[in-house]
Amino acid sequence: MRFIFNSLVLIFFSLTVFAQTNPNGTIAGQAMVVSAHPEASRIGLEILQKGGTAFDAAVAVEFALAVCYPVAGNIGGGGVLVYRKKSGEVGALDYREKAPLAAHRDMYLDAQGNVIAGLSQNGHLAVGVPGTVDGMTNLHQKLGILPFKEVIQPAIDLARNGVTLTEKEARGLNNNREDFIKYNHFTPPLVKNGTWEKGELLRLEDLAKTLERVRDYGRAGFYEGETAYLIVREMQKGKGIITYQDLQNYRSVWRRPLVGNYKGHKIITMSPPSGGGILLLQMLGMLENYDLKKMGWHSPQALQLIAEVQRRVFADRATYLCDADFYPVPIDNLLNKRYLAKRMKDYNPQKAGVSSQIKAGEISETISEQTTHYSIVDKWGNAVSVTTTLNNGYGAKVMVEGAGFLLNNEMDDFSIKPGYPNFYGVIGGEANAIAPQKRMLSSMTPTIVEKNGQLKMIVGTPGGSTIPNSVLQTILNVLEYGMGMQVAVGASRLHHQWQPDVIFVEENGIDKKTAEALEKMGYKLQYRSGIGRVDAILVLPDGKYEGGADPRGDDTALGY
Active site residues: 371
Judge whether 369 and 82 are in contact, CB under 8 Å: no
Q: What is the DSSP letter of 81?
A: E
φ/ψ of residue 35, rounded to 5:
-140, 180
Give the number of other CB atoms < 10 A from CB of residue 52: 25
Judge whether 343 and 310 are in contact, CB under 8 Å: no
Residues contacting residue 384 through CB under 8 Å, at least 6 positions apart: 54, 55, 58, 81, 82, 83, 84, 375, 376, 377, 458
| CA dihedral angle for residue 439, residue 218, residue 145, residue 32, rounded to 10 degrees | 60
Closest CA to 123 of 372, 439, 412, 370: 412
Give the number of other CB atoms < 10 A from CB of residue 119: 17
Q: How far apart are CA 310 and CA 355, in angstroms?
A: 11
Residues contacting residue 227 through CB under 8 Å, at least 6 positions apart: 210, 213, 214, 221, 403
Find the helix or strand (DSSP H, E) in which 61 lies. helix 54-68
Closest CA to 365 of 341, 339, 340: 339
Amino acid at 367: I
Q: Which residues pair with 406 in a beta bridge?
A: 399
Find the helix or strand (DSSP H, E) in which 25 lies. strand 25-28
| Three-state DSSP class for residue 152 | helix
Q: How far apart are CA 80 and CA 95, in angstroms?
A: 6
